[in-house]
Amino acid sequence: MRYVLLTLCILVAGCDAVRSTTVRVLGGDKTPDTAEPAVTEETIEPEPVAATAAGWLGAKTTIAGLGDPTTPGRWLETPLVDTEFTGRVVVPKTGAQAYITLVPAQGPASGGSRLSLDAMRALLLPFDELVELEVYSN
C-alpha cells in the first residue's frame, strides 16, 4: 500500500498542471532563458447598452406559481421582461430573496409568472400555492 501511494505521488508531481500551479503559488525559479514569452492580450470593450434595454428601476410585482418542473435551472418565466437576464426576486411576505434568470413569457405585463422548482426551493416557497413576488432588474 505504501508503494502504491508513493508511486501515485510521484506521478502526480510530474503532471504539468501540478507543476504550473506550484510555480505560480511558490514563486517558481525560472531562469530568463527558460521563461515563457509574454503574451499580450488585446482588450475588447463591450458595446454600451441602453439602460432601459433590459432593466428598470425599482420593483415590479407579479403573482407566480410553479412552472414546468422538468425544466432545470433557477428561472422565472414572466411577461415583465423582453430579453433574458438575471434579476433579483424578493418574497415580500417573508423577505426571502434570490438571484434568478428572468425569462420572457407571452402575455400582457399584468399576466402571471411561473417559477422553476429550484427557484421555489431557493425562495423557500410551497410548491402548491400562488405567491406575490417583487422583481428587480438590477
Three-state secondary structure call for residue 85: strand
Complete domains list, the chain, with CATH: 59-136 (2.40.40.10)
Backbone angles phi, psi at 6, to 5 degrees: -65, -45
| Coil, strand or helix at 132 | strand
Of the two residues 38 and 107, the one the predictor is more confident about is 107
Instruction: Evaluate whether 103 touches 84 at the Cβ level (below 8 Å).
Output: yes
Burial string for 67-80 (b: 16+ CB within 10 Å, else e) reads beeeeeebbbbbbb
What mean pLDDT do residues 31-59 have?
56
Q: Looking at residue 105, what is its pLDDT?
A: 92
pLDDT in tens, 73-129: 999 999 989 999 999 999 999 999 999 999 999 988 788 999 999 999 999 999 999
Its pTM stands at: 0.58
Which residue shows C-alpha cell 418574497?
A: 91
Q: What is the pLDDT of residue 91?
A: 95
In the chain, pLDDT over 70 holds for what percent of residues? 61
